[in-house]
Amino acid sequence: MEKFYLTTAIDYVNGAPHIGHAYEKILTDIIARHYTQRCDDVFFLTGTDEHGIKIQKTAAEKGITPKELCDENAQKFKDAWKALDVDYTKFIRTTDEEHEKIVQQIFNKLLEQGDIYKHSYEGLYCTGCECFLNPKDLTEDGLCPDHRKKPEVVSEENYFFKLTKYKDAIIKYIKEHPDFIVPEFRANEVINQLEDIQDISVSRAKSNVQWGIDVLGDEEQSIYVWIDALSNYITALGYDTENPSETFKKYWPADVQVIGKDILKFHSIYWPAFLMALNLPLPKHILAHGWITIDESKMSKSLGNVISPTSVLESFNLEHPDAFRYYMATSAPCGRDGNYSDEDFKEKVNAHLANSMGNLLNRTLSMLVKYFDGEVKPEFKGENPLAKKALGTVQIVKNHFDNFEIAEAGLEITSLVDAANKYVQDTAPWTLAKEEKMTECGQVLVNVLDVMCIIASLIYPYCPNIARDMARQLSFDLSTKLDDLTADNIKYGKLISKEDIKPVFLRLDSELADKSAKKS
């Protein structure tokens, strides 16, 4: 694997980031980190979508310019991703000068080759969706099914993109590439939407929407959201219609584009059509994740249950975001909806990260110090009954990631931890020490610690800080590629002293955790 390029949807900066935004970014960051363990060149793009009527209206209400609102809110997204250890390569903003210039280039190219034409139109426009809706897509009450609001009747002369021209080619592509849309069950939904697809508006009259990218040569029109927003995935790499950059040539097509299921239509129909019109290859995979509900209820401002991701870190006094990352990433099977609740969060991370994984490392190292002064002797190395499962888990985890089954991969890692815990219970090294079977006792402890190195490597994408703490105590090189992992990781000699053994994750309800939080 020479390179791996992945993207998230760009977030609309009309408000602050919430837990749904965080879910997508954490998933993508975990995929990116996993592939750094298999590939030397990973490019991870995220960013913000900053044009349109909602920005224009909100800025006017606040008495500031649209750009000032974008600057303020884009920074909130950057701050949130920093707090969650989302380690992107590039953060693009659609108000970036270079992006705007290339979008105008793309628009002109499509106009010149006849893929864009001007047309008078009257239709039902949903501001929330940023698109025109078909009457049959509305609820019985005539509302947008996603935003529960009545669309407004808009009559304008706009530029339209010939989406219908690419309908058959897109259907053919989806059918010939069953792994293009992940999970696969969403492909039929897209093909059904394609059956009665119409050409789409790609500009708005400036009399209605001033805050957008100008259509060159037509001062009355602004380039409308989808050509602007979707093009970020290539403009960020330096795409140019005449002379694409070496970066673009190197990374495009994207290996996976991670989006929410609510914008699948735009990414699996509009985006492929734009790319086909530009004669560019399509992304290898579109991963459409589900939504995150709060206490089994859909997030909404009216219910007052919109949660900021950083507020979870603050309310649980978490020094680093690993517990939240792990919980969110394992909250739902691939493409399905997940749920967040404070109680479930506490129970799950205590069980998996503190009681199971953290405690296993802590007590094994403590026994090594107690019985052998923290020293690993040559005779402690022998056949490891856990090795086969551990190395098999590495392959299973890789396979899950190849199918973007992030939650499923996390559960495999937990299963390996459970197997190591069972091995300790079955072999009872404390009993072996009591019976003075010291070589056998040392072998058991080193067998477990060898596997803990593999666990540290596998859990790293989910919990980078915990993994680093584990690796430090095990003297294990966390930069080891997954394909280079073996079941022989612990070196001979002094491994650790009593004062260097630290819990890698404290139970959220423990007295120590509370004290630690208060100190920080």
Q: Which of 136, 301, 518, 519 is catalytic?
A: 301
289 labelled catalytic: no
> Could you tell me which of 515, 440, 450 has the C-alpha nearest to residue 488?
450
Residues 292 and 329 sit within 8 Å (Cβ to Cβ): no
The burial of 58, by beta-carbon neighbours within 10 Å (0-12 exposed, 13-18 middle, 19 or more buried), is given as: middle
Looking at residue 353, the DSSP 8-state letter turns out to be I
CA 216 vs CA 103, 106, 270: distances in Å: 11, 11, 22
441 labelled catalytic: no
Q: Which of 70, 131, 144, 463 is catalytic?
A: 144
> Is the torsion defined by CA of 376, 380, 384, 386 positive or negative?
negative
109 labelled catalytic: no
21 labelled catalytic: yes
Q: Which of 67, 101, 147, 434 is catalytic?
A: 147
Q: Return the SS3 of 377.
A: coil
Cis before 253? omega within 30: yes
| DSSP structure string for 145-210 | TTT-SPPEEEEEEEEEE-GGGGHHHHHHHHHH-TTSEESTTHHHHHHHHHHT---EE-EEETTT--
Report the chain's C-alpha Rg in angstroms. Answer: 26
Residues 248 and 238 sit within 8 Å (Cβ to Cβ): yes
> Could you tell me which of 236, 241, 276 has the C-alpha nearest to residue 257?
236
d(CA 349, CA 466): 12
| DSSP structure string for 384-443 | -TTHHHHHHHHHHHHHHHHTT-HHHHHHHHHHHHHHHHHHHHHH-HHHHHHTT-HHHHHH
| Cα dihedral: 316, 322, 324, 325 (round 10) | 170
67 labelled catalytic: no
Distance of CA 274 to the CA centre of its chain: 24
Residues 319 and 520 sit within 8 Å (Cβ to Cβ): yes
Q: Which of 18, 25, 78, 267 is catalytic?
A: 18
Q: Which of 70, 129, 131, 463 is catalytic?
A: 129
| DSSP structure string for 270-285 | IHHHHHHHTT-PPPS-
Residues 76 and 111 sit within 8 Å (Cβ to Cβ): no
Residues 158 and 205 sit within 8 Å (Cβ to Cβ): yes
Q: Which of 82, 175, 298, 498 is catalytic?
A: 298
57 labelled catalytic: no
298 labelled catalytic: yes
Q: Which of 126, 131, 334, 453 is catalytic?
A: 126
By annotation, the residues acting in catalysis are 18, 21, 126, 129, 144, 147, 298, 301
